[in-house]
Amino acid sequence: MTRHQLRSVPVSLAATPTVRPGAVLADLLPTVEGGRARALVRDAALVLGGAAFTGLAAQLAVPIPGSPVPVTGQTLAALLVGTALGARRGVASLGLYLLAGLAGVPWFTGGTSGTGATFGYVVGFVLAAGLVGALARRGADRGALRTAGAMALGQLAIYAVGVPWLAVSLHVSLAQAASLGLYPFLIGDALKIALAMGLLPAAWKLVRHKDA
């Protein structure tokens, strides 16, 4: 092949990756032109949307006989929000959810607000969002097994705050609190993790397919 022929060979950039290292799913949304102010507005919308999504999921509650803690969708929502938005925006989103609920917005489980026996779990959501968001920056949500590990760590962070708070609120031992607010939910948590294992890697697979 001559030099002239080499120059005439078209070079395709279609396969050039557009996902920068350390990106989370929210970073792949269309960029906003207009400088830092519009970028901040975009981030604020993501934070508010994540809080609203968690509040909506909290209304999907199934009571557990003998336990003051129902099975809800907010745990999965909090973990997905933290993973999709990243640590900084995830903490801001779940922090907004917490503070608004303290201020009287009735979007905790069952349309409640303020503090109560289960408020420790809400505090745990903020910690979990930061944890899974940081792990997502390291690619923990791009494969099924890594997603499972990240979600499990997030669940542990939630229980690490929620169970002791429950014990103090109900004036029971940690062992009793765990029997009320941990053990009955392990199967449901496993199902939520399995759902995340399907959703998050599938989202990244779709992104890679579009980049190809």
pLDDT tens across 157-180, in order? 999 999 999 999 999 999 999 999
| Separation between Cα atoms, residue 182 and residue 186, nearest integer Å | 7
Regions of the chain with pLDDT less than 70 = 1-19, 31-34, 209-212
Q: pLDDT, tens digit, for every residue of 7-26?
A: 444 433 333 346 677 899 99
Does residue 168 belong to any structural domain of this protein? yes
Does residue 62 sit in helix, strand or coil? Answer: strand
Considering its fold, how many domains does the chain have in total?
1
**Predicted pLDDT of residue 1:** 47
| Domain region containing 110 | 23-205
3-state helix, strand, coil in the chain (%, to 5): 70, 5, 30
**Is residue 160, in this structure, part of any structural domain at all?**
yes
Question: What is the model's pLDDT at position 63?
Answer: 84
- Does any domain span residue 77? yes
Cβ atoms of 189 and 155 closer than 8 Å:
yes
Residue 178 domain-assigned (yes or no)? yes
Cα(59)–Cα(15) distance, integer angstroms: 43
Within-domain flag for 12: no
Is 65 in contact with 53 (CB distance < 8 Å)?
Answer: no
CATH number at residue 73: 1.10.1760.20
What ranges in 117-172 are assigned the alpha helix state H? 119-137, 144-170
> Looking at the domain assignment, is residue 142 inside a domain?
yes
103-117 tens-digit pLDDT: 999 999 989 999 999
